[in-house]
Amino acid sequence: MIGTGPGDLAHLTPHAKKALEESEVVVGYNYYLTLLKPLLENKKILGSGMKREIERGHMALKEANTGKTVAVISSGDPGVYGMAGVIWELIKTTGSSLEVEVVPGVTAATAAAALLGAPLMHDFAVISLSDLLTPWETIKKRIEAAAVADFVTVIYNPKSIKRTHQIEFLRETFLKHRDPHTPVGIVKNAYRPEQEIILANLHNFTQQNIDMFSIVVIGNAQTYQFNDKLITPRGYRL
Amino acid sequence: MIGTGPGDLAHLTPHAKKALEESEVVVGYNYYLTLLKPLLENKKILGSGMKREIERGHMALKEANTGKTVAVISSGDPGVYGMAGVIWELIKTTGSSLEVEVVPGVTAATAAAALLGAPLMHDFAVISLSDLLTPWETIKKRIEAAAVADFVTVIYNPKSIKRTHQIEFLRETFLKHRDPHTPVGIVKNAYRPEQEIILANLHNFTQQNIDMFSIVVIGNAQTYQFNDKLITPRGYRL
């Protein structure tokens, strides 16, 4: 399970590159396979579309069970809402004794943070707003806790074409506990050619064009905007 | 501000390596400079000890103000309790117009998670227990919120020789909301030769040898141990 980091090969670690090179089969979401193309020559490639994680997991296990070395790729880090959990869960449920390794990568939260400035310099919470696999009541509870305890908050899967009300609930909840001017950063397609960075605030951020390729970072009570950057003070006396 | 990832050069991204190569001066915590040694030939090296972040920030700005290209290194990701915030804050307070870039790296939380299995497959909170720069009341509030809302919780700076009660408060708080058998993973010196991985549970984890080089990961209500791995289910029906 290899994390390929954000964007292109510039963020792929040598450890991840070596693991890819040693693999005979590479399994991944089609779009991410395209980004890795230069490294995939002479390998068996098994791609599939979005939301096909279980299918890709089974494909990978099937190949590995024939004795092949198989790479399962995730953009970012495979352990953050990625393929690492899927593979471990399948290994457990199928009683497999395959040897596996998780190769970490630069995760979307810190890639977005790097582009925004330094918003994650203090305690933060990471929440996915997708209720496909998680009861909405659980997500609501976490949104409320993050808002109350003044966590910098990173949102994955903030909004899709069909799923639009969750982010409005989040906004309303945060507005009960944080100033409407609290800075909010939105990063789309970090480190890819189509990268987009939007600076907004808690009052107006849901009016921005947010989609499933966006990471939303909401500042804590101390976060401020300086030029085009968001900075959360660590607490030093300067 | 360059994130060098965990451990040795195997986790340094090509982007970070290139940024280092292009630098004339490299500023960092002494120990991390040692790990990067092969890449630092013919460069001016400015190291200092622990807790000297502000000093290093000023050294870096001083060099940069003479027109030099300066790399400020952080292990892991520079934007997570690292040097990125320090530099941005100093740039703001000194009114500097230097051009700066944050280069993300594999952060300690996901490096630890990769070694533990897949504990961060669901919403998580990251909390530093160090109250040097943060009021203890703020940290307590965040511990309580993370416990109540069933976040997988990653603890940075869990305990030092002088600072030992915070982690006991955390344990007691979590025990009010989570089963004593909840799996807890402790990773020390991830991807370094002296790496150590300890599996424990909420009841007994503070009896382990935890120090400032440890990352502690507390599972959510669904996290389970499978062989020597911690897995947090994503919610798929398998």
Using an 8 Å CB-CB cutoff, list chain B residues near A231: 85, 88-89, 92
Separation between Cα atoms, residue B142 and residue A149, nearest integer Å: 5
Taking only the tens of pLDDT, chain B with its 238 residues reads 999 999 889 999 999 999 999 999 999 999 889 889 999 999 999 998 877 899 999 999 999 999 999 999 999 999 999 999 999 999 999 999 999 999 999 999 999 999 999 999 999 999 999 999 999 999 999 999 999 999 999 999 999 999 999 999 999 999 999 999 999 999 999 999 999 999 999 999 999 999 989 999 999 999 999 999 999 999 988 7
Pairwise CB contact (< 8 Å): A149 & B142: yes
The residue of A110, A142, A144, A156 whose CB has the most chain B CBs within 10 angstroms, and thus the best one to mutate to test that interface, is A110
Tell whether B126 is within 8 A of chain A (Cβ). Answer: yes
Using an 8 Å CB-CB cutoff, list chain B residues near A234: 81, 85-86, 89, 133
Give the lowest-confidence range in A6-20, A40-54, A81-95.
A40-54
Using an 8 Å CB-CB cutoff, list chain A residues near B15: 10-11
Tell whether A89 is within 8 A of chain B (Cβ). Answer: yes
Q: What is the mean pLDDT of residues A211-218?
A: 95
The residue of A4, A13, A137 whose CB has the most chain B CBs within 10 angstroms, and thus the best one to mutate to test that interface, is A13
Measured between CA atoms, the residue of chain B closest to residue A82 is B121
- The alpha carbon dihedral of B228, B234, B237, B238 has a sign of negative
Q: What is the mean pLDDT of residues A219-225?
A: 98
CATH entry 3.40.1010.10 includes domain B2-94: yes
What is the ipTM score, two decimals?
0.97
Tell whether A21 is within 8 A of chain B (Cβ). Answer: no
Pairwise CB contact (< 8 Å): B123 & A119: no
Separation between Cα atoms, residue A136 and residue A130, nearest integer Å: 8
* Closest residue by Cα to residue B17 from A189, A179, A192, A14: A14
Class in CATH terms, A108-231: alpha beta
- Domain limits, chain A: 2-93, 108-231
Q: How far is B42 from chain A (nearest CA, A)?
A: 23
Q: What is the mean pLDDT of residues A220-229?
A: 97
Using an 8 Å CB-CB cutoff, list chain B residues near A177: none
Tell whether A128 is within 8 A of chain B (Cβ). Answer: yes
Q: What are phi and psi of A87, to 5 degrees?
A: -65, -45
Tell whether A118 is within 8 A of chain B (Cβ). Answer: yes
Provide the chain A residues 152-211 that lie in CB contact (below 8 A) with chain B. none
* Closest residue by Cα to residue A198 from A184, A213, A212: A184
The beta-carbon neighbor of A133 closest among B93, B106, B236 is B236
Whether A176 shows a pLDDT value over 90: the answer reads: yes
What local confidence, expressed as pLDDT, does residue A31 receive?
Answer: 87
What local confidence, expressed as pLDDT, does residue A99 receive?
Answer: 94
Using an 8 Å CB-CB cutoff, list chain A residues near B128: 122-123
What local confidence, expressed as pLDDT, does residue A77 receive?
Answer: 98
Paired tokens of A193? 């050619």
3-state secondary structure of A181: coil
Give residue-wise pLDDT tens across range A148-162.
Answer: 999 999 999 999 999
According to DSSP, the β-strands at A117-118 and A224-226 are unpaired
CATH entry 3.40.1010.10 includes domain A2-93: yes
Measured between CA atoms, the residue of chain B closest to residue A81 is B121
The residue of B15, B75, B99, B225 whose CB has the most chain A CBs within 10 angstroms, and thus the best one to mutate to test that interface, is B15
Q: How far is A123 from chain B (nearest CA, A)?
A: 5
Using an 8 Å CB-CB cutoff, list chain B residues near A149: 141-142, 144-146
Measured between CA atoms, the residue of chain B closest to residue A113 is B79
The beta-carbon neighbor of A9 closest among B14, B233, B238 is B14
- The alpha carbon dihedral of A190, A194, A195, A197 has a sign of negative
Give residue-wise pLDDT tens across range A106-156.
Answer: 999 999 999 999 999 999 999 999 999 999 999 999 999 999 999 999 999
What local confidence, expressed as pLDDT, does residue B99 receive?
Answer: 94
